[in-house]
Amino acid sequence: MIKLLKKLCTPIGVSGDEGAVRAVIENEIRPYCDKLYTDKAGNLIAEKKGKKEPKGKIMLAAHMDEVGFIITSITDSGLLRFNCIGGIDARQLIGKRVAICTKNGLVDGVIGAVAPHLLSKDSASKVLKDDELYINIGADSKDEALSLVSLGDTGTLVGDFTVMAGGKILARALDDRAGCAVLIKLLKSESEYSFTAVFTVQEEIGCRGALIAASAVKPDFAVVLDSTTACDLNDIPDDKTVCALGCGGVVSFMDRGCAYDRELFSLVMQTAEDEKIPAQVKRAVAGANDSASIHKIAGGVKTTAISLPCRYLHSPNCVIDSKDLDSVYKLVSAILPRISAL
């Protein structure tokens, strides 16, 4: 799936502006879907017919959007002010290259601030907020900047797609293009049971797209595919690592958005054991994903989440292990017949 994942990580798709990513996914899956459409929110919904119908309707979900920023104003000197979209650690912003999506294509820039040697000691040690920073695109005036960008344009931090030693993958937007890649491969494969696949929008700003999509699909069961923080680093105690690269998909029992269905949690872990597929339990009640919206609609949806362990989440240089990508695909493939029988 590495070639597919690179294709998915190339376009920019900040929350609320996912069109370029959706176009790539639609092109990949159209021949393999029995029904494919985009709803009013921008979610891409695909229906896949299997050889049999499950007892309850099954929805698989992965989000297309990524964290980034939106241009909010332009100074007289041509600098761009912005606000972050989604959870970005402000400590990593200064000096980073950015790409801004405009009506005329991408515009390159760099995030800057007042140099630390011109600040007081207290000010220099302070972490600046996004609205205290600026983007320099090379313009010398407001008019010149406006000829290149518009208020409301979105963009993201630049990060190249690289395959590192040991099959590790380094790229931006692996949260959640990795989940999208798994979902695409599932759609391209023969399926014993029918299911609906949803590529959602606006997950990073409140799981909004999933709420709309699930309300329309009305599933009985949902499997959410996402990426989750791996803190498997030196000097981090084992009980704080959350999960680790190379140990398979991460199965959650609870996070800040959802207490997951206990029957499905047990089913996923038992399937992994039976089929000898690497899997691990998320060792923290932290984070959230589209499950936060999905499990509450249509009288309640039995929901589980399987995530890719990811280092440096929400940065331009996320890292996952290609072995985990393969394990998640195998695990979801294996649980679908079992959920279909419930």
Active site annotation includes 47: no
Identified catalytic residue from 203, 204, 263, 273: 203
What's the chain's Rg over C-alpha atoms?
A: 21
How far, in whole angstroms, is CA 196 from its chain's centroid? 19
Show which residues are catalytic.
203
